[in-house]
Amino acid sequence: MILHLDLDSFFVSCERIKDKTLLNKEVAVGGRSDQFIFDKHTSGKKAMLSNNGAFVPSLFFSKKYQFDKNFFMDGKKIRGIITTASYEARRYGIKTGMSIREALLLCPHLIVLPPDMMLYHTLSFRLRHFLEKKLPLVEQYSIDEFFADSFGWVQDEKIEKFAFTLKSDIKKVFGLPISIGIADTKWLAKLATNKAKPNGIKLIKKDDIEEFIRDIPIEDFPGIGRAWRKKLYSYKKYTLGDIYRSKTLLYSWNRAGKELYDKIAGTFKEEINRQKERKTIGISRTFDPILDRDEIKRRIFILSRHLSFILLKTGKKPTTLFLGIKYEFKEKSKKHKTYNRIFTESFLKEEFVKLFDEIDIYKNSKIIRLSLSLSHFYSRKNHIYSLIDYEKDKQMDNLYKKVGKLRERYGIDIVKNAREIRNS
């Protein structure tokens, strides 16, 4: 069977390992975009890429930056959002994504802590290796979620007992509470975990599927986004039970409809993927509104440098880049562009800035977010490059690799472009 393991209030649980006085209290970990990435004087910043999951972002960290209690203060204003809240805090209505200011109004005695992402990534990495010793196939889905396949390892009738033992071992070794969902398929197991939380185990047997999903709202199922909701609502399908009873309708919606139905019905046998292939490498940051386009381009250069470092570390060969802009009043602009070139740092910087000039359609509006990503990877052995730029790109690629070695040793900021430190 498939197990879905989800660490309960993971960031808070990690903080409680460091500080036992936080146990049984209203605690939250807050987040602010790591503005130090744009600091003109930062040094010693490195990247952690050891975690490999569908939703595990690359981590940039610097020992220079030790976040303290003033992390969320900007003058007299409280900045940031809640990323994780303890179950004690959730009783006050505190939710992930809520502003810290709003959370403190709901619970004035809430303890809000700055994130220790290095600790969270390290514990997640260690737990994955622990699980790989306990189960034959383990897939890391996010920093606090894992799928595992017990087929041929644990008999179905003993899987629940095995899960309780595994849960106990994780608590004993790591001090982390975890919930486990068990079913024949990945997405039903993930759905089961929602019912197991907090700190519980839920097994869904084949004969129990229809009863289990009957009253679950469709938006609770992974993969049903806004477009699917709109379509299903138009057919008066509001619960997973409604979908389960509508096989003919869903199957008439071609492959996507058939796949969705089979996932909900528990007949879609998606395999556990130990080494989840990354389809996209990206970096994005949110910041206070900025009108100055030269400052925005400086930040694009900085994000491009960090993105190129990730690209070098992963060894991926992309053909497509993406730039997204978010403006102060929710307007957005974005575009993909495909190239037949070797992607080097200098190439990325030039092309992202060109793309920005092309898609910056609200030039008098302030910008609050930039998103850069690379995708459509290929094998270099089977790829034919544009001959026009090949020699120049090859030279820049060699330089790019040499600079990468310096950054690996001394930090990502050891070599910068002059445009990144303007006005300093």
Residue 79: predicted pLDDT: 74
User: Could you give the percent of the chain with pLDDT greater than 90?
Assistant: 55
- The full set of domain ranges for the chain reads 8-116, 121-265, 280-421
Q: Active-site residue among 26, 139, 145, 345?
A: 145
pLDDT class for 30, splitting at 50, 70, 90? confident
Q: How far is Cα 229 from Cα 345, in angstroms, rounded to an integer?
A: 40
Q: Is the pLDDT of residue 69 over 80?
A: no
Q: Which two tokens stand for residue 377?
A: 């990877």
Residue 424: predicted pLDDT: 42
Mean pLDDT of 314-343: 88
Q: How far is Cα 300 from Cα 350, in angstroms, rounded to an integer?
A: 10
Residue 170: predicted pLDDT: 97
Residue 222: predicted pLDDT: 84
Q: Is the pLDDT of residue 159 over 60?
A: yes
Looking at the chain, the number of H-run helices and the number of E-run strands are 14, 16
Residue 46: predicted pLDDT: 58
Going edge to edge, which strands form the sheet with 145-149? Answer: 137-142, 145-149, 2-7, 178-183, 201-203
Mean pLDDT of 224-239: 93
The DSSP-derived string for 345-396 is HHHHHHHHHHHHHHH---TTS-EEEEEEEEE----GGG----HHHHHHHHHH
Q: Residue 371: beta bridge partners?
A: 284, 324
54 touches 143 (CB < 8 A) = no
The DSSP-derived string for 277-326 is PPSEEEEEEEEEEE--HHHHHHHHHHHHHHHHHHHHHHT---SEEEEEEE
Evaluate whether the domain defined by 8-116 bears CATH number 3.40.1170.60.
yes
pLDDT class for 52, splitting at 50, 70, 90? low
**pLDDT tens readout for residues 348-394:** 999 999 999 999 999 999 998 899 999 988 765 665 666 677 677 77
259 is catalytic: no
List all residues 6 or more positions away from 152 whose beta carbon is below 8 Å from its beta carbon. 136
What's the CATH number of domain 280-421, 3.30.1490.100, 3.30.200.20, 2.60.40.2550, 3.40.50.20? Answer: 3.30.1490.100
CA nearest 317: which of 334, 340, 298, 294?
340
**pLDDT tens readout for residues 109-141:** 999 988 888 889 899 999 999 999 999 999 999
CA dihedral defined by 206, 207, 210, 216, rounded to 10 degrees? -60
Quick one: DSSP state of residue 181? E
**pLDDT tens readout for residues 240-249:** 999 999 999 9
Q: How far is Cα 222 from Cα 279, in angstroms, rounded to an integer?
A: 19
Round the average pLDDT of the chain to a whole number and report it: 85
Q: How far is Cα 264 from Cα 217, in angstroms, rounded to an integer?
A: 12
Which phi and psi angles does 21 have, rounded to 5°?
Answer: -70, -10
Residue 279: predicted pLDDT: 79
Q: How far is Cα 394 from Cα 276, in angstroms, rounded to an integer?
A: 30
List all residues 6 or more positions away from 400 whose beta carbon is below 8 Å from its beta carbon. 308, 312, 344, 345, 346
User: Could you give the percent of the chain with pLDDT greater than 70?
Assistant: 85
Q: Prior bond to 108 cis, omega within 30?
A: no
**pLDDT tens readout for residues 180-193:** 999 999 999 999 99
Q: How far is Cα 320 from Cα 334, in angstroms, rounded to an integer?
A: 13
Which phi and psi angles does 201 have, rounded to 5°?
Answer: -135, 135
**Measured between alpha carbons, how far apart are the two ends of the chain, in Å?**
58
What is the CA angle 377-379-384, rounded to 5?
100
Q: How far is Cα 183 from Cα 1, in angstroms, rounded to an integer?
A: 6
The DSSP-derived string for 112-143 is EE---HHHHHHHHHHHHHHHHHHSSEEEEEET
**CATH code, 121-265:** 3.30.70.270
List all residues 6 or more positions away from 262 whose beta carbon is below 8 Å from its beta carbon. 268
114 touches 72 (CB < 8 A) = yes
